[in-house]
Amino acid sequence: MDYKPSNVDEIDKWEEVQLVYKAALKQMRTKLEILSADFAQTHKYNPIEHIEARIKSSESIVKKLKKNGYESTIENMVAKVNDIAGVRIICSFTSDIYRIADILSSQSDIIIISVKDYYKNPKPSGYQSYHMIVSVPIYLSDRVVNVKVEIQIRTVAMDFWATLEHKIRYKFEGNPPRHISESLMECARMVSALDDEMLCLNEEIMRLDAMKEE
């Protein structure tokens, strides 16, 4: 059953929403930490560099609803905003992006709602990442509900670019001067080339290691 807020007063309803989404974040983070430990133990290699998690602020949620033409109600927050709970997975190489996404997709209690591949199809700004909207079951005292979580998977280099790009666009209220946007695009191309080169280097190292073991 998809999560819907209980029929209680607005304060209690918002507290319930926060509880449910925090529980979803805890569950996803635990899954990823187990996955990370398993990789390190089984494969002697861990594609997950680190994990970040956050609950979107009420101000950001209201701003997003208004931008999309929706009334600012708690019901609309839950129904229309898919990234109230967000997890970002930072990995080493571009090949790790799909490896992690495939493993998460194969878990029986995770339902994939949508996927946006901004690695293969970057945004016009140059932004690259792999986005998944999933739902996970949360066991409350009186029911089980499916709660949406946004998962972003990107390399260290992509994350570096995205963090700085966000700060620059925020400074210019989303509309930086043309020459700055062009510079950001050029930096995005450099990041992509760096990721490709580092992946080739890692594959060569793995090939040489395999030859030593033969």
pLDDT at residue 188 greater than cutoff 90: yes
Query: How many domains, the chain?
Result: 1
Residue 113 lies in a domain: yes
- Tell me the residue range of the domain where 140 lies: 10-156
Residue 192 lies in a domain: no
Residue 124 lies in a domain: yes
The dihedral formed by the CA atoms of 173, 174, 175 and 180, expressed in degrees to the nearest 10: 110
The pLDDT, as a whole number, for residue 141 is 86
Task: Say what angle helices 10-42 and 94-105 make with each other, to 10 degrees.
Answer: 120
Residue 174 lies in a domain: no
Interval 135-159 mean pLDDT = 94
Which CATH number do you get for residue 73? 3.30.460.10
Global pTM value: 0.90
The pLDDT, as a whole number, for residue 8 is 64
Mean pLDDT of the chain: 91
Q: Between residues 56 and 8, which one has the greater pLDDT? A: 56
Residue 165 lies in a domain: no
